[in-house]
Amino acid sequence: MICLFRIPYFFALIVLGIVIGGCATYQETEAYKLYSGPIRSSTEISILQLYDASKAVIDGMSVSHSDYTEVHLSPGVHNITWTSVHGMSVLVEASGFALKHSEQNPILLKGRIYRLRSARTTGHEYTIYNWIEDLATGEVIAGTAKP
Amino acid sequence: MKIKYHYTLIILVSILLHGCVIVPYKVDPEVKIEYDKELSKHYLVTTGPRKLLTQIEDSITKFTQNIQIIDSIHFRDTAFPDGDWRMVRLFDDQNCQNIATELNARYLVLIGKLDTSTEESGFMGVYIGFYGAFSAKEKSTISATIIDLEKGEKLCNLDSEAQGTAGGVGFFYAVITDPLTESGAIEGLGKAIAKTIAQETLNNDVRIAVLAIEPHYDAQADNVIQAENVIGGTFTINTPNISTPTSAVIDFCEDFNTWSMKEITISNIGPKNGTMLDAKGTWRSGKQDGAIKQCVINIPEGEYLIKYIVEVTHQDLTQRISNHGLVNLRSQHVYQFSNNAADNLTNTQISTWMFEKETNRIVLGCKVRENNTCP
């Protein structure tokens, strides 16, 4: 009888399965209505996707990414304080992560979708960039995008 | 070749076996009810913590079928039609009674923040397996305020607390116990809310709304932001007794052992109302140890881009922290810098912030919380 363990391909398959085995998460869109009154159509409001933000305080109201994926706002100027979290090498940050807090006061236009974006450079002299971009045009409306 | 395959098999089995089992266990919460506790109105009424509110609602309806929950967004829009979500607005002229009539609602339940703290001892290392032993006391607390909308007054406060001990032992393979304090506190609170309302309504059908509250950093509010774990003292930006009423004075005259101001950069971002003067400069240390000790800067009030770097020492950990952002410096106000630190199982997070003394409003940076995050 041929022992299966003597077949290299069998091992390769199992190890490959372990290596690529993982999980993927999918978060449904959950919108936080942050304007008063009846629900308005998406063309009448500004949508802010939390995207890279772990949490945000918008005009004094806290929004956690674990609760909502996007915030629906009246068009106009909004005070947005938000935090992005980046996993780091422990050789760079002992905690294994780095936070970046930003406060921005962008003018949000109606019918537009905006996204809180964050990216970082690597190494000991790393820099974290937090910015807000218009999803349709890619225009940075607040903060500085990673070059 | 045989030997080679045996090694592969051992490694494979090791990978598959290496791990741990986590044994969660329920903890019984302790719930206190208070009727005399004063209701602070310096809060915003919010639907923000969606999942937490859903959990509370579920635990209320699990206990009794006589309570019907009103959609929180619908309640909020009815109660605060102009988008001013301060809790104080609830108690404007007959507002509570009007809401009760319009929504046929009897009670409003306002849920506070769910707090969890951990105190650990022992050590467990992880390196191709788990080695060591640890235990950690975990405590979760959450509170609620029930408002009688028909009477327009507070009924009571409920405080739920669940405590448990997490423990683990490991030698390659680990067994870890996990107390479910958060769900225990939430379930305990939901049950207590349902029980209290059922007693008040003699088990009759009733409609209630469940929303959350969060601190409102209002200039008119009392000291909402408390000084927590402040290390050393505070640096001050002052605006007293100065010749020009529209000038601000930044004064770093203090010297603390545990933290120091290394650098501050203040730049104006352009004319504002035609009064902005050119005020731009970087004040670097001229002192031996590199810290700014005395520095007075005359600048007019207005909006500035402020960047500062401080060095803070907390429990043998020294960190340089930098904050920057737009700050509106108001005339005749005092601005101070402060700091705090939070420790959890894995690390210490130090944070600094700048705040307006008169209002306790944070204008730059943030305070780190027990879960090592800044709000």
pLDDT interval class at A32 (50, 70, 90):
very high
d(CA B308, CA B364): 10
Residue of A nearest to B324 (CA): A102
pLDDT band with cut points at 50, 70 and 90 for residue B332: low
Spatial CB neighbours of A26, under 8 Å, sequence gap ≥ 6: none
The stretch B7-18 carries a mean pLDDT of 61
Region for B360 from its dihedrals, namely left if φ exceeds 0, alpha if ψ lies in -120 to 50, beta otherwise: left
CA end-to-end span of chain A: 62
Amino acid at B167: G
Chain B residues whose beta carbon lies within 8 Å of the beta carbon of residue A61: 44, 46, 48, 85, 214
Q: How far is B28 from chain A (nearest CA, A)?
A: 26
pLDDT at residue B251 in the model: 44
What value of ipTM does the predicted structure carry? 0.75
Residue B112 touches partner A, C-beta closer than 8 Å: no
Query: Are A100 and A130 contacting, i.e. CB atoms less than 8 angstroms apart?
Result: yes
Mean pLDDT of chain B: 72
Q: What is the pLDDT of residue B146?
A: 94
Mutation choice for B interface testing from A5, A6, A36 by most B CBs within 10 A: A36
Do A60 and B82 lie within an 8 Å CB cutoff?
no
Residue found under tokens 């937090």? A130
Looking at the predicted structure, is the pLDDT value of residue B240 above 80?
no
The residue assigned the tokens 């607040």 is: A142
Average pLDDT over residues B162-189: 85
Size of interface A-B (CB pairs under 8 A): 78
The pLDDT score that the predictor gives to residue B27 is 86
Specify the pLDDT at position B294. 37
The single-letter DSSP state of residue B134 is E
Q: What is the mean pLDDT of residues B252-281?
A: 48
- The DSSP symbol for B230 reads -
| Residue pair B329/B297 in contact by the 8 Å Cβ criterion | no
On the question of pLDDT at B244 being above 60, the answer is no
For B321, what's the count of Cα atoms within 13 Å in the CB-facing half-sphere?
30
Q: Under DSSP, is residue B211 helix (H, G, I), strand (E, B) or coil?
A: strand
Q: Which residues in chain A are closer than 8 Å to B325, comparing Cβ atoms?
A: 102-103
Chain B contact present for A139, CB below 8 A: no
User: Residue A18: CB partners within 8 Å, gap ≥ 6?
Assistant: B15
Distance from CA of A100 to the nearest CA of B (A): 9
Say what the pLDDT of residue B342 is.
67
Say which of A5, A61, A81 has its CB closest to residue B9.
A5
Q: Where are the beta strands (DSSP E) in B190-316?
A: 206-215, 235-238, 247-251, 259-268, 280-284, 296-300, 302-314
Determine the pLDDT at residue B252.
47
pLDDT digit string (tens) for B272-313? 332 223 333 333 333 334 444 434 445 566 677 777 777 777
Does the beta-carbon distance from A95 to B50 stay under 8 Å?
no
Task: Say what the pLDDT of residue B34 is.
Answer: 87
CB atoms within 10 A of CB B317: 14
**Structure-model confidence comparison of residues B62 and B231, the more confident one:** B62
Strand partners of residue A77? A107
Per-residue 3-state assignment (H helix, E strand, C coil) for B25-46: EECCCEEEEECCCCCCCCEEEE
* Average per-residue pLDDT for chain A: 83
Specify the 3-state DSSP secondary structure of B170: strand
For A90-98, what is the mean pLDDT?
Answer: 80
Q: What are B70-124's pLDDT values in tens digits?
A: 999 999 999 988 888 888 888 887 888 999 999 999 999 999 888 887 777 666 6
A17 touches B: beta carbon within 8 Å: no
Residue B261 near residue B252, CB atoms below 8 Å: yes
pTM for the full predicted model: 0.62
Give the separation between CA B371 and CA B348, rounded to whole angstroms.
10
First-residue to last-residue Cα distance in chain B? 59
| AA letter at B17 | L
B125 and A CB contact within 8 Å: no
Please name every residue paired with A32 in a beta bridge, in sequence order, or none if there are none.
A71
Residue A22: predicted pLDDT: 44
Distance CA B66, CA A98 (A): 48
Burial class (CB in 10 A: 0-12, 13-18, 19+), B106: buried
pLDDT in tens, A34-43: 998 888 999 9
Confidence (pLDDT) at B337: 75
Helices B72-79 & B95-103, crossing angle to 10 degrees? 140
- Could B85 and A61 be called an inter-chain contact, meaning their C-beta atoms sit closer than 8 Å? yes
The answer to whether residue B141 neighbours chain A at the CB level (below 8 Å) is no
Which of B371 and A50 is assigned the larger pLDDT? A50
Closest CA to B301 of B264, B361, B356: B356
Chain A touched by B72 (CB under 8 Å): no
B210, B74 in Cβ contact below 8 A?
no
Query: How many CA atoms, within 13 angstroms, populate the side-chain half-sphere of residue A25?
Result: 3
Q: Which residue has the tokens 């699990």?
A: B62
Which residue of B315, B343, B347 to mutate against A (max A Cβ within 10 Å)?
B347
H or E segment to which residue A13 belongs? helix A8-20
- State the burial class of residue B98 (Cβ atoms within 10 Å of its Cβ: 0-12, 13-18, 19+): middle
Distance CA B27, CA B142 (A): 15
